[in-house]
Amino acid sequence: SLSECYAVSAEVCCLEVAQHKRLLLCGLTTGTVLIYPLSLPQETLCIPPPENLSRVLCIAVSSQEKHMAVAYEDSVCLFEITNRDSFPTVEGPLKRVPLSLLHAPLSSMALLPDRRLLYGTSCGEVKLHDFSSGSSSDLEPHRSRVTCVTAGHWGTHALVGSEDAVQRLWALSPLVLDHTMEYKGFFFEGVLSAAFSDSDQFVFTGCQDRTVKVWDVASGTH
């Protein structure tokens, strides 16, 4: 049965949960981000939309839940998740990264613990942006849309998956490609989603062939 129902003012285009701080983050097509403290169901926090009312594309929360990133159609903003008088608050934006009009739309992203943002685009580009230094670098691209960028729980690895049936496992400190993992079936090989196990020993991928595959992080095999 339905236990809670949150009313929103526009279509919800993405959701994220900060598990430890018990926050539900809702990105809307109007550019607004609504934040529901799950322990205080009558309260709602709001990040207002940017001036151009660009829709929210993605939301990412760092593994330590100290920061969150919000991707819009033309920029990515970094916010700090904190508390004031035991009530959750969101400060910012601390940083804003404009996205070029020539840049393909951002399709998935992960916020790493050291304020670095790993993201992919709808045309297969993969980029790493450091909010602290302002520097950006290009990683090995995919041949089609990046469908998932998922960071492990312990800050050591991230997986980038694509509709081209290739997933790349990146070590994060220092940044280096650990494994390129491919699965070739007869049809529908693309990767749609990914999640790490609690220990980061395994990574699970949901694929277009209607299977979930289990990969060993150390060896890159399944």
Would you say residue 18 lies in a domain?
A: yes
Residue 181: closest CA among 201, 210, 204, 151: 204
Of the CA atoms within 13 Å of residue 221, those in its CB half-sphere come to 1
Is 183 a domain residue? no
The verdict on residue 99 lying in a domain is yes
The pTM for the full model equals 0.92
Question: What pLDDT score does 1 carry?
Answer: 45
Instruction: Decide if 211 is inside a domain.
Output: no
Look at residue 2 in the predicted model and tell me its pLDDT: 47
Q: How far is the C-alpha of 150 from the C-alpha of 148, rounded, in Å?
A: 6
Q: Could you tell me if residue 123 is inside a domain?
A: no
Q: 116 in a domain, yes or no?
A: no
Host domain of residue 27: 10-103
Provide DSSP, 95-126: EEEE--TTSPPEEEEEE-TTSEEEEEETTS-E
Res 85: pLDDT:
84
> Has residue 98 been placed in a domain?
yes
Low-confidence ranges of the chain (pLDDT < 50): 1-2
Quick check: 130 and 116 in contact, CB under 8 A?
A: yes
Ramachandran category for residue 172: left, alpha or beta (phi over 0 → left; psi -120 to 50 → alpha): alpha
Q: Quick check: is 203 in a domain?
A: no
Q: Collapsing DSSP states into helix, strand and coil, what is residue 4?
A: coil
User: Considering its fold, how many domains does the chain have in total?
Assistant: 1
